[in-house]
């Protein structure tokens, strides 16, 4: 187990170094590598193989990485169309204090998945029987926000303090909610970017680190929030609701979940403000709307 680099900033350069070591451990040469996403994890496609490598920000994510492996196996047993594990003897492994998992690369047309496809997949996931092996935790809807704020060294103290006050307000509002539905297995980060469209017209679910047990309204609220941001048309959102069989916006508690999603989407982006001017500008745009409680129009997807 390597221990290098645990105190450095987790950015694309560090992640690339970890990728190289991780691939050497499993005997794969990382040629023609593409960084697909940088957020809670760095996700790389190794183009000369059928491999995708997922690197978590720190060892604090170890249990989540273990859970991802269990969830992948559970979804396969449930016959849910989802990404499958790369055939490595044991996962996750630790490299530089970072949990690393390996996945089969899915052929991707590059097309954006339809919201209706997400609704259909969520319906299937929520209907799956939760078996004993998968060991899903209970939903912790604010789970990573405090850690993000603690590690926000490139953000001013005044902004971090604002986020902490806002977090407390949202926690109080969430505690007062009464959910109408029984708990199910939640994806935990249910948006169309966590679907891959294949050349065979399949839609494949990815990104399992947020899986937990909780009210289905939490999964549904993300697409409803994106609809209110203008990221989905009325027809697309209606198709999402039709495919799932419900519209979470009909529930009186939706606005609280929407405000939580907006807050989480902003603090998620905060982690990457140093990556580019585009990241920094979008963070400032989102922060401004949170400060003045206006409807968050003009946000751009990341």
Average pLDDT per block of 10 residues along the chain, 302 residues long: 50 93 92 88 90 94 95 97 92 95 95 97 98 95 91 89 96 98 97 96 95 98 96 98 99 97 93 86 92 75 80
pLDDT at residue 8, rounded to an integer: 62
Report how far apart, in Å, the C-alpha atoms of 189 and of each of 122, 197, 218 are: 11, 18, 9
Q: Provide the token pair at 106.
A: 């899915």
CA distance 237 to 106: 26
CA distance 117 to 239: 9
Domains in the chain: ranges and CATH: 12-104 (3.30.200.20), 115-292 (3.90.1200.10)
pLDDT at residue 2, rounded to an integer: 39
First-to-last C-alpha distance (Å) of the chain? 33
Q: Give the DSSP H/E element, type plus range, for residue 4.
A: none
Whether a cis peptide bond, with omega within 30° of 0, leads into 147 is: no
With beta carbons less than 8 A apart as the criterion, state whether 81 and 205 touch.
yes
Q: Is 189 helix (H, G, I), strand (E, B) or coil?
A: coil
pLDDT at residue 6, rounded to an integer: 41
**Cα–Cα nearest to 35, from 62, 58, 12:** 12
Angle, vertex CA 274, rays to CA 16 and CA 271, nearest 5: 80
- Torsions phi, psi of 245, nearest 5? 105, 15
Angle, vertex CA 219, rays to CA 176 and CA 145, nearest 5: 65
CA distance 155 to 170: 21
In the numeric block, the tokens 């047993």 are attached to 77
pLDDT at residue 67, rounded to an integer: 96
With beta carbons less than 8 A apart as the criterion, state whether 34 and 45 touch.
yes
With beta carbons less than 8 A apart as the criterion, state whether 187 and 209 touch.
no
């Amino acid at each position: 187990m390597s221990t290098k680099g645990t105190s450095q900033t987790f950015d694309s350069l560090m992640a690339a170094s970890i990728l190289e070591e991780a691939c050497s451990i499993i005997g794969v040469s990382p040629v023609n590598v593409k960084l697909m996403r940088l957020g809670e994890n760095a996700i790389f496609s190794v183009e000369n193989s059928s491999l995708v490598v997922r690197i978590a920000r720190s060892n604090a994510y170890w249990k989540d990485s273990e859970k991802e492996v269990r969830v992948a196996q559970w979804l396969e047993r449930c016959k849910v169309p989802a990404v499958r594990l790369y055939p490595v003897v044991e996962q996750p492994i630790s490299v530089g204090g970072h949990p690393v998992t390996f996945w089969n690369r899915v052929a991707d047309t590059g097309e954006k998945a339809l919201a209706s496809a997400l609704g259909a997949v969520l319906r299937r996931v929520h209907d799956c029987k939760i078996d004993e092996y998968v060991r899903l935790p209970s939903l912790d809807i604010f789970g990573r926000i405090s850690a993000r704020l603690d590690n926000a060294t490139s953000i001013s103290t005044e902004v971090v303090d604002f986020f902490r006050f806002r977090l407390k307000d949202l926690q109080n509002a969430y505690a007062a909610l009464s959910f109408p539905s029984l708990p199910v297995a939640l994806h935990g980060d249910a948006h169309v970017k966590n679907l891959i469209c294949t050349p065979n017209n399949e839609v494949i679910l990815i990104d399992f680190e947020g899986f937990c047990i909780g009210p289905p309204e939490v999964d549904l609220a993300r697409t409803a929030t994106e609809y209110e941001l203008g990221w989905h048309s009325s027809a697309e959102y209606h198709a999402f609701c039709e495919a799932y069989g419900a519209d979470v916006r009909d529930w009186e508690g939706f606005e609280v979940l929407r405000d939580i999603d907006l807050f989480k989407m902003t603090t998620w982006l905060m982690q990457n403000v140093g990556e580019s001017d585009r990241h920094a500008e979008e963070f400032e745009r989102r922060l401004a709307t949170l400060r003045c409680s206006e409807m968050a129009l003009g946000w751009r997807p990341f």
